[in-house]
Structure 1
Amino acid sequence: MNDALALVGRLLLAALLLAGTVQKLMSPEGAQALLALASLPAWLLWPSGLFTTFAGIGIALGVATRPLAILAAGYCILTSGFHILMDDPWQSTIAFKNWTIAGGFLMLAAHGPGRFALRP
């Protein structure tokens, strides 16, 4: 049962990363606006999209799971800073959600991908 739960958890975390990639590709304006608020260049959206793509695929497949999970946790913490907008409660909720997701990635890093992985 633990290995099946690890697989489902891995796939859900990976789905979130990959959905972020799709969102960046289909509608980059929102992420670019958040970057602009932080006085950062819009082109940073593309390395971010590459990271979420490769990390999402790697975590889904169970390849390099622990290092990717640690990097993904850091990514979630880092990007939460873009969402701490005190005049927008929804964005602040997204920041807290990112911290929670970082916790899930750290649990994945601590416990590994489980038996149902290409590299368990």
Structure 2
Amino acid sequence: MNDFATLVGRVLIAALFLAGAVQKGADPSAVEGLLAARGWPVWLVWPALGFNLGAGIALIAGVWVRPVAGLLAAYCAVTSLFHYIPADPWQMSIFVKNWAIAGGCLILAAHGAGRYALRP
């Protein structure tokens, strides 16, 4: 049961990042606006898309799960700062969700892919 739960958890977390990659590709302007508002270069949307896509695929496949999950936790921590807007309850819920996702990624980083995974 633990290995099956780990597989399902990996797939669910991966789905979030894969959807983020699709969203960035379909309409990069939303992310570009968040980047520009913080003074970051808007072209960072493209490496973020690539990272989301690659990390999502790695989690589903179960390859390099520990390092990828650790990087995803850091990514969530950094991207949460774009949503730290106390006057906007919606943005604050995204801020908190990013930290929750980081927590799930840290658990994957600590425990690995489980039995149902490809090996590099």
Common fold, TM-score beyond 0.5?
Answer: yes
Amino acid at match of 1:13: I
For each residue in 1:73-105, what CA deviation from the matched residue of structure 2 results, as whole angstroms up to 9, or x when unmatched?
000000000000122110111011000000000
Cα RMSD, aligned residues only: 1.0
CA–CA distance in structure 2, aligned partners of residues 106 and 87 of structure 1 = 29
Measure how far apart 1:29 and its partner are: 1.2
Q: Which position in structure 2 is the counterpart of 1:19?
A: 19
Three-state SS of the structure 2 residue aligned to 1:87 is coil
Q: Percent identity, please.
A: 56
Structure 1: distance between partners of 2:10 and 2:40: 31
Structure 1 runs (4+) deviating above 2 angstroms are none
Q: Look up the match of 1:84.
A: 84
Give the partner amino acid of 2:24.
K
Counterpart position of 1:44: 44
Give the match for residue 117 of structure 1: 117
What is the rounded CA distance, in whole Å, between the counterparts of 1:28 and 1:69 in structure 2?
24
Partner of residue 108, structure 2? 108
Secondary structure, counterpart of 1:40 in structure 2: coil
Q: Cα deviation per residue 1:7-53 (whole Å; 9 max; x = unaligned)?
A: 00000011111000000011111111100110111100001111111
Say how many residue pairs are matched: 120
